[in-house]
């Protein structure tokens, strides 16, 4: 189950959330060594034992989807449909994975300095589905994603994930590495046993790490599941770092 999501360079994105000012500064897109500073993370529980933050990069295996798909697969759509929710935090099918940055977690804050991922975490984009308008400007480009920003306790045990997202959980951000400048644009619509779904891309990557955005879910009054990945976040949208899962 895949989905991912990239944005204009941000040096300081300041957002408000419960518990104080939730502040994040990011290096410009295209940085080989990319620094993330997060202050006043919103904690939804389970953070009492956190001592370390780790960013883990993964390649993506396009063969996991049995239905026509480019980045998102039908598993995400079916899970969201069954749960009756408008979107999902489920991002990827993980194959391998390597830690590209670690940081202490102190006073609801962390600083991650992403390093380039290893060769084993770089993979080419899959072939666009037949009949799609998806275009990859350089098919030889290889990419990797920080699928997880993990929280660990003193024993090194995984506790839960950190998420860079809007307060209403409608837009998610994640970091994507490209080994060269590459653009992904276009989209497609298809139907399988789970229903009709659409994928749309407006992605403009620079060589190095990039901040990526995506949203997904069923349109209001619609049974079409839409996944949208893009590089420019509307100026009116604020995102912040959260840890854990909100209680229903």
Give tens-digit pLDDT for 71-125: 654 444 444 444 444 334 443 444 457 899 999 999 999 999 999 999 988 888 8
At 14-37, the pLDDT tens digits run 333 334 566 678 899 999 999 999
Residue 216 has pLDDT above 70, yes or no: yes
Q: 45 versus 92: which is more confidently predicted?
A: 45
Task: Tell me what pLDDT residue 218 has.
Answer: 81
Please give the C-alpha separations between residue 214 and each of 1, 2, 140, 155, 217, in angstroms, as whole numbers. Answer: 15, 12, 23, 33, 10
Selection from 5-9, 53-57, 86-90 with the highest mean pLDDT: 53-57
Q: Which two tokens stand for residue 95?
A: 């194959």
Between 3 and 185, the higher pLDDT residue: 185
**Residues of 52-62 as b/e, b for ≥16 C-beta within 10 angstroms?**
bbbbbbbbbeb
Enter the pTM of the model: 0.80
What mean pLDDT is reported for the chain?
A: 78
Q: What is the pLDDT of residue 58?
A: 79
């Amino acid at each position: 189950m895949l989905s991912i999501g990239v944005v204009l360079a941000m040096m300081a994105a300041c957002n408000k959330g419960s518990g104080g000012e939730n502040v994040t500064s990011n290096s410009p897109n295209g940085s080989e060594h990319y620094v993330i500073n997060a202050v006043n993370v919103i904690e939804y529980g389970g953070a009492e034992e956190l001592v370390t933050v780790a960013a883990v990069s993964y390649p993506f295996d396009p063969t996991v989807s049995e239905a026509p798909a480019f980045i998102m697969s039908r598993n995400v759509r079916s899970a969201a449909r069954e749960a009756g929710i408008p979107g999902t935090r489920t991002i990827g099918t993980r194959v391998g994975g390597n830690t590209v940055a670690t940081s202490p977690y102190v006073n609801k804050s962390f600083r991650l300095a992403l390093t380039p991922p290893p060769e084993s975490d770089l993979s080419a984009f899959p072939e666009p589905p037949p009949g799609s308008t998806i275009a990859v400007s350089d098919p030889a480009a290889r990419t990797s994603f920080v699928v997880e920003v993990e929280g660990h306790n003193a024993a090194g045990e995984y506790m839960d994930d950190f998420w860079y997202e809007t307060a209403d959980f409608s837009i998610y951000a994640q970091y994507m590495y490209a080994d060269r400048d590459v653009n992904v644009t276009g989209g497609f619509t298809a139907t399988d046993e789970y229903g009709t779904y659409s994928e749309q891309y407006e992605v403009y990557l620079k060589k190095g790490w990039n901040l990526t955005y995506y949203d997904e879910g069923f349109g209001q009054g619609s049974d079409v599941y839409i996944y949208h990945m893009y590089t420019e976040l509307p100026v009116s949208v604020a995102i912040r770092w959260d840890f854990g899962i909100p209680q229903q």
